[in-house]
Amino acid sequence: MLSSALRVRGQRVATSVHLLAAARLPSAYPARYLSSAPKELSPYQKLQKWLQPFVTGSKGLYHENKQAWALRRRVMEASGRAGLSRREMLLLRQAHRDLLKSLPILAIFCVPVLGYAAPLLGYQFPKQLLPWQFWRPDQKTQFFREDVLTRAKTYPELAQLLLQIEHKDDTLQEMMALAKAAGGGGLRPTQVAELAPFFEGPAALHALSSKHIHVLAEGSALFPSFAVLNKLLMQSQLEKRLERRMEELSVDDQQLLKEGVDDLSLSELEFACQERGIVTQYGDIEKLRAALKEWLSMYDTDHFDPETNPQRLPPSLLLHAPALSSFAKPEDGDEVDPTV
């Protein structure tokens, strides 16, 4: 009897222990879940996270200009025979542009107290005040597309100004009429190249009117947001700037003809097409590559040799080419709304 009573009491105690453990489980689980929940960032951590893109962009801008200075020193030491690659040449061209664009925001950043507003202004107007090192990849694609579409608004006027130039023959007018009758988006790149004598003569930069030069400067502006400042410059100043830019672009074309475009990254293709004012589907690497190849088809690629037969086109032709031809232009239904 005694053993039976003890056994029953033991079972009751065990049952009570199990019930007590079960009663405690619900209160234990939330504590475990709360311990794995993400902790809220402190104000300092939030500030760090907010400033991170600005810090990263500043470092990228610093390293770009540091490399550019090293390349300039190398060119000077080699007396202009350094043999730079295309990427190095691009870095040399782009470094001073990026630094110049960032000067206003950097100046504000250096002012005591007021400097805290620099990131705010940069984030509010990244396209206007910050170079590409501060942009996200999607912003870079969007801003390049917007810039090219803004420049493309001047293309119809440029084409009309060309048609008004008096010439001994009507080759351009005939080509444009045939292209319009065929329903195309303009001349083929090879047809544009056939107009080289026209752009070396009556349509050469020095022969264009002041209005034509200013429209041309607006249509080829790397930073369309500041293109209005070109109106403050004299025609001769704009001509020199346009000639210098087209000389750089011509050298870049020679290097692309030599090295090819198949190994270029999305970023490099976007830079190349934007610099030339090519309207195409930015963000699509294959369409960008096809557009750049179309541009290079203006040259006689079958007989190109960088040493014995370099290919050169008149600066005025390179400036007007985007207005006369469509280089892999997107279909009407595929064109991306720049406001998206």
Domain termination site, one of 102, 135, 168: 135
Domain count, the chain: 2
Tell me: the pLDDT tens digits for 312-324? 899 999 999 999 9
Mean per-residue pLDDT for 16-27? 45
Q: How far apart are the first and last CA of the chain?
A: 87
Count CA atoms closer than 13 A to 19's CA, side-chain side: 6
Q: Is 283 exposed, middle or buried (0-12, 13-18, 19+ CB in 10 A)?
A: middle
Domain range enclosing 60: 45-135
Domain termination site, one of 135, 167, 197: 135
The pLDDT mean for the chain works out to: 82
Domain termination site, one of 106, 135, 164: 135
What pLDDT was estimated at residue 9? 47
Count CA atoms closer than 13 A to 330's CA, side-chain side: 18
Give the pLDDT band of residue 329 (cuts 50, 70, 90). low
pLDDT at residue 240 tops 90: yes
Distance between CA atoms of residues 212 and 161, nearest Å: 7
Give the pLDDT band of residue 192 (cuts 50, 70, 90). very high
Ranking 36-45, 61-70, 186-195, 219-228 by mean pLDDT, the lowest is 36-45
In-domain check, residue 103: yes
What pLDDT was estimated at residue 335? 44
Regarding whether 184 and 95 lie in a shared domain, the answer is: no
What one-character-per-residue DSSP string does 285-298 give? HHHHHHHHHHHHTT
Bigger pLDDT: 30 or 195?
A: 195
pLDDT at residue 213 tops 50: yes
Distance between CA atoms of residues 267 and 151, nearest Å: 20
DSSP tag of 261: S
What pLDDT was estimated at residue 18? 47
Regarding whether 160 and 287 lie in a shared domain, the answer is: yes
Bigger pLDDT: 106 or 258?
A: 258
Regarding whether 55 and 155 lie in a shared domain, the answer is: no
In-domain check, residue 251: yes
Regarding whether 181 and 253 lie in a shared domain, the answer is: yes
Regarding whether 213 and 109 lie in a shared domain, the answer is: no
pLDDT at residue 50 tops 60: yes
In-domain check, residue 40: no
In-domain check, residue 323: yes
Amino acid making up residue 63: H
Regarding whether 63 and 202 lie in a shared domain, the answer is: no
Regarding whether 214 and 264 lie in a shared domain, the answer is: yes
Regarding whether 318 and 172 lie in a shared domain, the answer is: yes
Regarding whether 143 and 109 lie in a shared domain, the answer is: no
What pLDDT was estimated at residue 36? 53
What pLDDT was estimated at residue 332? 47
In-domain check, residue 37: no
Regarding whether 129 and 53 lie in a shared domain, the answer is: yes
In-domain check, residue 67: yes
Closest CA to 177 of 166, 163, 190: 163
Regarding whether 216 and 68 lie in a shared domain, the answer is: no
Regarding whether 311 and 239 lie in a shared domain, the answer is: yes
Count CA atoms closer than 13 A to 231's CA, side-chain side: 4
As beta bridge partners, residue 325 has: 187
Q: 182 with 163: CB under 8 angstroms?
A: no
Closest CA to 164 of 155, 156, 173: 173
